[in-house]
């Protein structure tokens, strides 16, 4: 089989993957990851150039899923004719069942059959768990183990897959596979080492950062590939590691949240893939979006120590800096009221699929929605004055005064920062039979609206009344939620109504209400997706939203068996949407008794970021049948002015990293009292400093490279200025050493140029030129041979000019006995003569120049000493 595949795709120069081992191979003993391609042949050189494709989160062609986006990305990837296709996981949705795998892989079946397909397994491939049986359909279909190393281009690239989805660090403890992974990295002889894992270490996306995967950042790894979040992103960490996220392969797109540390490119609106073009000296990574547009690229090269660095990248400007930060509107309320005859920052217009008519209904001026001839729903397009409110996202309350002659429903469709949809549907308002022909008022809470004129006719939002409901609207008011929370406590108790906190059913978090010991409670049911029983919780945005806040959660619980659980929340400190609290353990002595636990949630955010737009979830290990009696969440009070200023300053630094924005943020933080708020903002600013440091290091590298390419006083000064911005350390020292070589080159060049330009008609000028030539040659001798360039030829030319001057001085008419030649002059004449004519005729050639100024014996002795040194 290997020979057949090599004949089909000779550019790979490696065989197809071996038949898969059982999924447990990720835990197998051994020094290194299993190599599923033949090792490189040391008798042959690496391939000159290799093209690889990287796709992720693409398997939307699974059962009950659409295929269009996946097929379009597959067609684009195939147009590149890559030597191999690498994936970063979630190859199949929803749970990696056999029938789902077959359908999801249809666009890539020929690549899989040809042995060109090298998949990483993601959480959906594992059925949202880590059960070997769950991933077996994928393992059997792809015929690869869950962890492996594959080589391409005869030593050009090694691709390491250490099964990251099921391998997590815990504190300082590395996962079981780490030693195999590190040994594989250390022992790789490939020019470039790529490491892949499904969950990204850093991400600006919906799931956010995964610090428990940071063990992938191991010296010797040149590029880390990831997915999970459905967008594209390039992150350069403070340690210089490059992370490329390509989760936009076809199964939907997810929005961006707060910018991850070191993020230099983000794209969450287009499907696409990444193209890697690899040579021995460089690796070019291109983020390509449909239909085949290079949206961004970067080029990696290696420094003298063999560490990869960004030598070049696209100029990219973030179109929506830090979308996780809520802006401040100029007005907190806009409205129109036809009955009162007022308009304040909110207007409406006719549109093709939103015809309206101003009329009077029951003595009240109103807008009558006309039948939409395009079908479906009657619609009212509305426009918010950009000078009042623009951008976003904002949390708002939309209040409508309306009347209908028949029962029905209506909702607001808006530009959602969370879903990315320009027509996200809000919760619906229902008009019952007892409400017809009556003026009513209703409010809808919207957590994430953006005002970007994105809808038809540049509208910001539209009211949509299904079934051509003949709705009349008299007034609409949009109120932006103030920055401070309206409550510092929310709770739920099943003996009464929830107070700002409620649970929500979700496919991986089923539950039902029961009665225990005469009181109402909530039984968390078994999660059929994995071994963690989940209870998803939602905090009403009318009570608390945004953040960060320092919070606590108090949970009243019981269990029929011993076990443990944690609360997972959205953390501003770590960037994770699923940050775990301290674990609560239920002992045998506590079984079937009500217990209470209070858990700290430092820097908690309320952004509806978890599955189903939940804010947090309880996770009970090993399908623990936990029962919840009540729960409360408390946060510190709203931000004071100084804290708000500091938060805004840090957000500005995150959006536009620079020394200036960092300085402003540092000054703002310095005004805060010591405590968790200042500490959290300092941590965020530290991440910004890392971004600037990485940018400064890249700029310094580029400036030194420019000086090396074009040595001059100007390029040296530019490089010195760039290096001056770096902190003391190995990077600054190494770049300074390189620049010292450039300084020496310029110094030698200047000395030789001075000789060429100098008037050498008198003895003193010749003496100075000889001294300068000696200094220049000493400098050249100290330079690395590959950086001497044309300096040796320039030195030889300068020497020839000096000897011509010596010849002229010695031949000039003189009175009395000729002066004896100075020994440096004679030595230079001998060296030049040797270079021109060789040693056979040296005595005669030299004597022709120095006759009368040196005896034959003197010349002979000097020649013998010169030749002895040669």
The answer to whether 18 and 165 have CB atoms below 8 angstroms apart is no
For residues 439 and 435, give the distance between their C-alpha atoms in angstroms, rounded to a whole number.
Answer: 8
Q: Which helix (H) or strand (E) holds 808?
A: helix 791-811
Q: CA nearest 410: which of 427, 386, 389?
A: 427
For residues 400 and 12, give the distance between their C-alpha atoms in angstroms, rounded to a whole number.
Answer: 64
For residues 158 and 263, give the distance between their C-alpha atoms in angstroms, rounded to a whole number.
Answer: 25
For residues 763 and 770, give the distance between their C-alpha atoms in angstroms, rounded to a whole number.
Answer: 11
| pLDDT value of position 258 | 66
Strands 408-416 and 440-451: antiparallel
For residues 798 and 832, give the distance between their C-alpha atoms in angstroms, rounded to a whole number.
Answer: 10
For residues 150 and 166, give the distance between their C-alpha atoms in angstroms, rounded to a whole number.
Answer: 20
Q: CA nearest 672: which of 642, 647, 636?
A: 642
For residues 477 and 446, give the distance between their C-alpha atoms in angstroms, rounded to a whole number.
Answer: 13
For residues 129 and 339, give the distance between their C-alpha atoms in angstroms, rounded to a whole number.
Answer: 58
For residues 515 and 169, give the distance between their C-alpha atoms in angstroms, rounded to a whole number.
Answer: 40
| pLDDT value of position 543 | 82
The answer to whether 616 and 501 have CB atoms below 8 angstroms apart is no
| pLDDT value of position 19 | 39
The CB density around residue 339, as the number of other CB atoms within 10 Å, is: 14
Q: CA nearest 145: which of 112, 118, 165, 168?
A: 118
Q: Write the CB contacts of 137 (distance below 8 Å, at least 6 apart in sequence).
A: 96, 97, 98, 100, 101
Segment-wise mean pLDDT, segments of 10 residues, the chain, 870 residues: 30 42 42 94 95 94 75 96 97 89 94 97 87 92 97 98 92 91 96 97 82 93 96 92 96 80 91 97 97 95 89 84 54 91 95 93 95 85 90 88 96 77 84 95 90 84 95 95 72 88 94 92 93 94 81 96 97 89 97 96 90 95 96 76 78 80 91 81 84 84 90 93 88 90 93 91 90 92 87 90 89 81 91 88 88 87 89
Q: CA nearest 516: which of 559, 569, 473?
A: 559
For residues 84 and 117, give the distance between their C-alpha atoms in angstroms, rounded to a whole number.
Answer: 6
- E strands, 594-658, in order: 595-606, 616-620, 627-635
């Amino acid at each position: 089989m290997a020979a057949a595949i090599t004949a089909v795709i000779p550019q790979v120069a490696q065989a197809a993957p071996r038949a898969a081992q059982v999924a447990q191979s990720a835990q197998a003993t051994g020094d290194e990851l299993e190599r599923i391609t033949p090792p490189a042949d040391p008798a042959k050189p690496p391939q000159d150039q290799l093209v690889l494709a990287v796709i992720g989160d693409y398997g939307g062609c699974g059962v009950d899923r659409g295929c269009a986006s996946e097929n379009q990305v597959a067609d684009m990837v195939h147009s590149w004719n890559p030597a191999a296709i690498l994936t970063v996981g979630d190859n199949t949705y929803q749970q990696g069942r056999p029938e789902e795998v077959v359908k999801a892989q249809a666009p890539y079946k020929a690549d899989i059959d040809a042995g060109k397909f090298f998949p990483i397994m993601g959480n959906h491939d594992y059925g949202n768990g880590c059960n070997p049986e769950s991933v077996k359909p994928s393992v059997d279909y792809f015929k690869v183990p869950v962890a492996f190393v594959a080589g391409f281009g005869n030593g050009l690239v090694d691709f390491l897959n250490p099964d990251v989805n099921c391998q997590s660090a815990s504190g300082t403890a590395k996962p079981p596979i780490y030693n195999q992974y590190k040994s594989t990295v250390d022992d790789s002889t490939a020019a470039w080492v790529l490491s892949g894992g499904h969950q990204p270490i850093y991400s600006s996306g919906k799931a956010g950062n995964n610090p428990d995967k940071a063990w992938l950042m191991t010296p010797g790894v040149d590029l880390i590939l990831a997915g999970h979040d459905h967008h594209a992103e390039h992150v350069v960490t403070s340690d210089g590691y490059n992370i490329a996220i390509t989760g936009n392969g076809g199964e939907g797109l997810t929005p961006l949240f707060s910018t991850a540390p070191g993020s230099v490119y983000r794209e969450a609106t287009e499907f696409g893939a990444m193209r890697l073009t690899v040579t021995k000296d460089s690796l070019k990574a291109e983020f390509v979006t449909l239909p085949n547009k290079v949206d961004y690229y970067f080029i990696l090269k290696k420094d003298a120590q063999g560490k990869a660095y960004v030598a070049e990248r696209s100029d990219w400007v973030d179109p929506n800096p830090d979308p996780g930060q809520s802006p401040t509107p100029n007005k907190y309320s806009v409205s129109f009221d036809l009955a009162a005859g007022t308009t304040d920052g909110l207007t409406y217009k006719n549109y093709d699929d939103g015809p309206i008519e101003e009329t009077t209904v029951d003595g009240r001026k109103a807008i009558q929605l006309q039948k939409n001839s395009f079908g479906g729903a009657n619609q009212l397009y509305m426009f918010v004055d950009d000078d009042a409110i623009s951008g976003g996202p904002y949390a708002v309350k939309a209040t409508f005064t309306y009347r209908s002659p028949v029962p029905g429903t209506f909702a607001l469709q808006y530009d959602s920062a969370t879903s990315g949809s320009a027509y996200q549907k809000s919760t619906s308002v229902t008009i019952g039979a007892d409400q017809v022909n009556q003026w009513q008022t209703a409010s809808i809470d919207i957590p994430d609206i953006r005002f970007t004129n994105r809808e038809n006719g540049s509208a910001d939002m539209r009211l949509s009344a299904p079934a051509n409901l003949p709705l009349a609207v008299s007034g609409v008011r949009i109120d932006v939620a103030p920055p401070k929370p309206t409550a510092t406590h929310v709770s739920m108790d099943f003996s009464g109504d929830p107070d700002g906190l409620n649970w929500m059913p979700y496919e991986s978090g089923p539950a039902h209400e029961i009665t225990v010991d005469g009181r109402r409670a909530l039984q968390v049911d078994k999660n059929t997706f994995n071994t963690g029983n989940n209870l998803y919780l939602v905090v009403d945005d009318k009570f608390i939203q945004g953040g960060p806040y320092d919070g606590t959660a108090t949970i009243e619980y019981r269990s029929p068996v011993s076990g443990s659980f944690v609360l997972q929340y959205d953390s501003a400190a770590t960037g994770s949407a699923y940050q775990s609290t301290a674990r609560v353990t239920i002992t045998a002595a506590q079984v079937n008794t009500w217990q209470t636990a209070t858990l700290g949630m430092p820097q908690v955010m309320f952004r509806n970021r978890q599955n189903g737009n939940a804010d947090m979830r309880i996770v009970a290990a090993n399908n623990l049948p936990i029962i919840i009696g009540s729960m409360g969440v408390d946060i510190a009070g709203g931000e004071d002015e100084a804290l708000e200023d500091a938060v805004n300053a840090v957000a500005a630094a995150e959006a536009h990293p620079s020394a200036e924005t960092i300085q402003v943020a540092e000054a703002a933080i310095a005004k805060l009292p010591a405590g968790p708020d200042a500490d959290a903002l300092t941590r965020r600013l530290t991440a910004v400093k890392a971004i600037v440091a990485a940018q400064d290091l890249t700029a310094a590298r580029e400036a030194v490279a420019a000086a090396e390419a074009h040595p001059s006083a100007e390029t040296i000064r530019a490089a010195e200025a760039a290096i001056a911005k770096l902190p003391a350390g190995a990077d600054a020292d190494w770049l300074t050493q390189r620049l010292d070589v450039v300084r020496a080159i310029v110094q030698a060049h200047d000395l030789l140029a001075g000789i060429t330009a100098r008037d050498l008609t008198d003895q003193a000028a010749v003496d100075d030129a000889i001294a300068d030539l000696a200094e220049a040659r000493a400098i050249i001798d100290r330079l690395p041979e590959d950086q001497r360039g044309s300096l040796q030829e320039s030195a030889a030319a300068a020497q020839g000019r000096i000897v011509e001057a010596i010849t002229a001085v010695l031949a000039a008419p003189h009175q009395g006995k000729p002066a004896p030649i100075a020994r440096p002059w004679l030595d230079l004449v001998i060296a030049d003569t040797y270079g021109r004519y060789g040693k056979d005729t040296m005595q005669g050639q030299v004597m022709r120049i120095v006759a009368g100024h040196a005896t034959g014996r003197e010349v002979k002795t000097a020649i013998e000493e010169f030749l002895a040194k040669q």
